[in-house]
Structure 1
Amino acid sequence: MAAADVGWRVGELADLAGLTVRTLHHYDDIGLLRPERTPAGHRVYLREHVERLYRISVLRRFGTPLEEIGRALDEPGWAIDDALRQHLATLEDEVLRTERLLHRLSDVRAAPVEDGTSQAPDGGGVGDVGVCRRLLSVLEDTAVARTEPLRRIAVLVYDDLARAHEYLVRVFGLEPGPVRRDRAGTVVQAEVRTVDGLVMLHPVAPRWGLASPASLGAATGMLVITVQDVDAHHSGVLARGGTVTYAPTDQPYGVREYGATGPEGEPWSFWTPLAP
């Protein structure tokens, strides 16, 4: 008789679900997923247990705590919107703390130590004590103050937002964000995204001194995007019809970089940090 006809033993279900037996035991111990028991005391999971495990796994993938999952599955009044809102707030705080720590550690690694010397590339040398002191001070507090600037949002001005959005997604490989239109169907704002943030596409606005590089014939700024493999990204941009201004080149400031022009002639740069 097939396992589905009589239920799954804990080891069978663990293999099917990609979990460990210990995880399923823990779910049982805390009352999150309690299977049937054979006369000999062995755990047996029926279809309804598998369906509940699926819902548990979905919520766990969102990072929902186990106690919150239990309420989600057992309390009729539980609302997923409230849980997601709370989880988003928690994740936002964790991301900000992680970014703060990343910046501080980068500063520690790059800055000269107290006696005016720099840390040796191999991690040794007379600067070790100074570096360790700064590391300890960095780790003391990564909290973000309520009045502290949190995130930067890049804003690029274009004559044709719809075309710019399509180009940046198709050619440069940025993730598409929302495209917002007015009642007449004209795109009035759009977004593209990288893993760590977003780029807002803004229409020309003479009132605020915002003009497209296409009309100016020049740009007053540019975006630099970090990618995992700059040579592969360069090849992809060329294959998708992009215009490259210079090929991937190892730069003296520690990156391998190439340049390209965007949909209205503005400069972009893509790079990958070189190995130390």
Structure 2
Amino acid sequence: MIRMERRGFLKVMAAGAAIVAVNPSLIRGTLYADDGRLYMAYEKVQLVDGAGNPIKASSLEKEVTYIFNYPYASTPCMIINLPEPTQQEVTLKSEAGEEYVWKSGVGKDRTIVAYSAICAHQLTHPTPNDSFIKYVPKATPTMAYSKSGIIVCSSHLSAYDASAGAKVLGGAASQPLAAIVLTVADDDTIWAVGVLGSDKFQDYFRAFKPELKDFYNGIAQGKQLVSISAKTVKLTEYSKEIIQY
């Protein structure tokens, strides 16, 4: 991972602003600056279904939690097609105090969002056995917050605003979920290109070594970067049991 000082960052931005505006996935490394950027580029990966067919943005069911692993083979993420357009230009802050800007949802109506499914509190995440974290549809009540249509970790009732960059709404979480940066191509296919915000990947790797052995054939395999495509399925297909309060 590359960490650039602000002065060097601004020089790069001045020289290549047009490239950044067109394709942020061309940036390699993590960028920190006063203008609100905190972004890590990874491989550009296409989201596909269980049969390997490209998933189209228009085919995502509304308010359904889908799971794919990115940017590592063992790090689960969620993608959700919200019922309404998201907020735009949301300023967020990591637990270390670093500010960054979440632009908006993607797709024709700006309703599609993706986030790391590793809770920022104590790393609760979906596994093939169970999941305590999911998007709670607007019509489904939750103990975590006064209204639904949010992401809830039922382990300790941390609540995140799915429409605003996974901003913390309540509970013990000290920062938003890391956002997965998506692009939707002209043919309606969906691609993951990077991670925005402070992620919990290294903490996750340290805390769940036995799990990596059980589900991913070892720690090294679990830490491999995803390339080319990422299998994307409904949470109900990914986990045997889903717990929601």
Which bracket does the TM-score occupy, shorter chain normalised? under 0.3
Which protein has greater RCO, CA pairs closer than 8 Å, 6+ apart?
A: 2
Please report the TM-score for the alignment, with normalisation by the length of structure 1: 0.24
Structure showing greater radius of gyration is 1
Please report the TM-score for the alignment, with normalisation by the length of structure 2: 0.26
Higher strand fraction: Structure 1 or Structure 2? 2
Higher helix fraction: Structure 1 or Structure 2? 1
